[in-house]
């Protein structure tokens, strides 16, 4: 497993369309390996190994006593995904590295579910933000050198869709055909005129994510 780059796949449950068509599950997972079977059983299985293969196809089931337990022992919930992927990103950020985490997949494959989550079922981004502010508070309390340190946290939120970059925190950017991606000799790639909003706690980040998510609906229209 590389320290610099980690790649994971996550298998989501069937959606209503797949259920209504009695779709057959052709994915299996074993450790970090994802196994794809030929639905016509003509070709041998194909195996792909990643740093993590997350089985989230079956959710939780309710026991007789009302306790929710994973329907499959392999079931990977949001906390497991954060512990494996988000925590390392945050630790590296504390060490001063530039870090990036991105989700890739076709529409409806579960990118938002894993990255943002829904309500109290928090994905990697909200958990990381919470941990970030907890980390700042802890460092200010425990480390003598850090007591006087100043921390600045800011948020930007953008969408790249059909090769157009839209600033989700600035709807006026939608009209101009998107923002420009430039390269700075020292800082690397950046998005010109992207809004950078300072935030002082997790609630402020949540507010900005909610605003960006609402604007995203506008961006789609
Ligand atoms: N790991 C998971 N466990 C349970 N449900 C999931 C999981 N991943 C995705 N889903 C469900 O699948 C549906 C599609 O997921 P989601 O909206 O995250 O997809 P997406 O890739 O972000 O789609 P789009 O590109 O269209 O925005 C949602 O109803 C979501 O709740």
Q: What is the pLDDT of residues 189-211, one digit of tens each?
A: 899 999 999 999 989 999 998 99
pLDDT at 69 over 80: no
Residues at CB less than 6 angstroms from ligand 1:
10, 12-13, 15, 56, 59, 105, 107-113
Nearest-CA neighbor of 23 among 10, 32, 13? 13
Provide the phi-psi class of 163: left if phi over 0, else alpha when psi is between -120 and 50, else beta. left
Atom of ligand 1 nearest to the CA of 15: 12
Q: Residue 220: phi, psi to the nearest 5?
A: -80, -15
User: 47 labelled as ligand-binding?
Assistant: no
Neighbours of 94 (CB within 10 A): 12
Q: Is 26 within 8 Å of 11 (Cβ atoms)?
A: no
User: 111 labelled as ligand-binding?
Assistant: yes
Neighbours of 74 (CB within 10 A): 17
User: 186 labelled as ligand-binding?
Assistant: no
Residue-level pLDDT at 59: 73
Q: Is 27 within 8 Å of 35 (Cβ atoms)?
A: yes
CA of 201 to the centre of ligand 1 (A): 27
CA of 13 to the centre of ligand 1 (A): 9
Helices (H), 61-192: 78-81, 87-94, 111-115, 124-142
Q: Pairing mode, if any, of strands 68-70 and 60-62?
A: antiparallel
Q: What percent of the chain has pLDDT over 70?
A: 95
pTM of structure: 0.85
98 vs 69, higher pLDDT: 98
pLDDT at 34 over 90: yes
- Euclidean distance between CA atoms 220 and 186, whole angstroms: 34
- Euclidean distance between CA atoms 84 and 78, whole angstroms: 10
Q: Would you place residue 147 in the very low, low, confident or very high pLDDT band (cuts 50, 70, 90)?
A: low
Residue-level pLDDT at 168: 95
pLDDT at 1 over 70: no
Q: Whose CA is nearest to atom 11 of ligand 1?
A: 110
Q: Would you place residue 170 in the very low, low, confident or very high pLDDT band (cuts 50, 70, 90)?
A: very high
Mean pLDDT of 110-119: 89
In this prediction, the answer to ipTM > 0.95 reads yes
Q: Would you place residue 85 in the very low, low, confident or very high pLDDT band (cuts 50, 70, 90)?
A: very high
Q: Whose CA is nearest to atom 1 of ligand 1?
A: 12
Coil, strand or helix at 118: strand
The separation between CA 113 and the C-alpha centre of its own chain, rounded to angstroms, equals 8
Q: Would you place residue 16 in the very low, low, confident or very high pLDDT band (cuts 50, 70, 90)?
A: very high
pLDDT at 41 over 80: yes
Q: Is 146 within 8 Å of 140 (Cβ atoms)?
A: yes
Atom of ligand 1 nearest to the CA of 113: 18
Mean pLDDT of 125-140: 90
């Amino acid at each position: 497993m590389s320290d610099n780059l980690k790649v994971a796949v996550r298998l989501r449950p069937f959606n209503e369309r797949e259920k209504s068509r009695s779709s057959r599950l052709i994915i299996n997972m074993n450790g970090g390996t994802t196994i794809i079977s030929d639905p016509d059983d003509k070709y041998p299985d194909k195996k792909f190994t990643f740093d993590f293969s997350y089985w989230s196809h079956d959710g939780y089931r309710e026991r007789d006593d009302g306790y929710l337990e994973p329907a499959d022992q392999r079931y990977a919930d949001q906390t497991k995904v954060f512990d494996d992927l988000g925590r390392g990103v945050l630790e590296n950020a504390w060490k001063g590295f530039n870090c990036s985490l991105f989700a890739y997949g076709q529409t409806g494959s579960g990118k938002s579910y894993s990255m943002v989550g829904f309500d109290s079922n928090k994905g990697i981004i909200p958990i990381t933000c919470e941990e970030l502010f907890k980390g700042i508070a802890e460092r200010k309390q425990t480390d003598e050198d850090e007591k006087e340190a100043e921390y600045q946290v800011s948020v930007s939120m953008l969408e790249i869709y059909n090769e157009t970059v839209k600033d989700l925190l600035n709807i006026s950017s939608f009209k101009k055909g998107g923002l420009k991606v430039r390269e700075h000799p020292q800082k690397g790639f950046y998005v010109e005129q992207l809004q950078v909003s300072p935030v002082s706690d997790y609630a402020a980040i949540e507010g900005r994510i909610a605003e960006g998510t609402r604007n995203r609906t506008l961006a789609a229209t």
